[in-house]
Amino acid sequence: MDILSDRQSKLLDFIIKEFVKTAKPVGSELTAKKAGFDISPATIRNEMFELERMGYLDQLHTSGGRVPTDKAYRQFVDKLIQKDEGPEPLSEEKRKIRSVISSAEDPRELNKGIARALADLCGAVVIAKIMSDPDFYKIGLSSLFEFPEFREVNRVFEMVNLFDSFESVFDKIERQFFKQLDDEFQIFIGDENPFQVRETTILAKYYLPGDLRGSLTIIGPTRMDYEKNISLVKYTTDELNKLAYGK
């Protein structure tokens, strides 16, 4: 496994965050201006070339900048989870989640309300389920198509097909992942995705009132805002678990 230097790690973090924000390949000149490195654009180009050689960056056009690969996102996400890094949700985001939790009396309506809130906050597809219940609640497909990635017809078709047929593939996923998922959540990026789409999936399970277990499946582009979405999922599942345990 490749070991990144501290500078390479910081450079990769900058490129990922910039690409998440702009959806545009990131060049060495822009990086030299905005990233705060006290090195020349030529040195940055050399480091970007090395990151590309190691499989963390890709160059779509010979004259353009670089974009992160699935390997880069995986390294970024693993670091966030292991070191518990990343920002807290914004106060208004927390208020929105707490408002849903405090206003819903029925656990099934609570699960649906949480799905609606996270779909709005994450700009992603969210599929909620009570784990003893055959019914699913799906929302957020239209907001996903606002991402430029979904201008590709094939990717639109894959997502629509998954959204429509999710029930038929979920049983397998539940057996393979949710029933073995000890952690609060698990993240699959690109080719790791168990749903045969090229996107990122966050799987989360948690407790609900009435001795019920809830699950959320959040699907967005690999260029999703991982810092924001991971913090939102962590905060939401923590608050739901507190409610279920009466804390």
- Give the end-to-end CA distance of the chain in Å, rounded to a whole number: 43
E strand map for 6-82: 57-59, 66-68
Distance from C-alpha of 230 to C-alpha of 168, rounded to nearest angstrom: 27
Structure tokens at 157: 């078709």
Q: Where are the domains of the chain?
A: 6-82, 91-245
pLDDT of residue 178: 64
Distance from C-alpha of 187 to C-alpha of 226, rounded to nearest angstrom: 10
Class at the top of the CATH hierarchy for domain 6-82: mainly alpha
Q: Spell 137-153 as b/e; 16+ CB within 10 A means b.
A: bbbbbebbeebebbeee
CB 126 within 8 A of CB 110: no
CB 155 within 8 A of CB 149: yes
CB 112 within 8 A of CB 128: yes
The rounded mean pLDDT for the chain is 89
What residue has token string 């539940």? 174
pTM summary value: 0.91
Q: At what angle do helices 6-22 and 41-53 cross, to 10 degrees?
A: 90
Half-sphere exposure of 76 (CA within 13 A, CB side): 28
- 170-211 per-position pLDDT tens digit: 877 777 666 665 556 889 999 888 887 889 999 999 999 999
Which CATH homologous superfamily contains domain 91-245?
GAF domain (3.30.450.40)
Local structure of residue 194 (DSSP, 8 states):
T
Distance from C-alpha of 79 to C-alpha of 23, rounded to nearest angstrom: 22
| 25 confidence band (pLDDT: 50, 70, 90) | very high
- 74-126 per-position pLDDT tens digit: 999 999 988 776 688 999 999 999 999 999 889 999 999 999 999 999 999 99
Structure tokens at 71: 């390997």
Contacts of 216 (CB under 8 A, 6+ apart): 114, 115, 118, 126, 127, 128, 202, 203, 204, 205, 206, 233, 236
- One fold for both 6-82 and 91-245? no
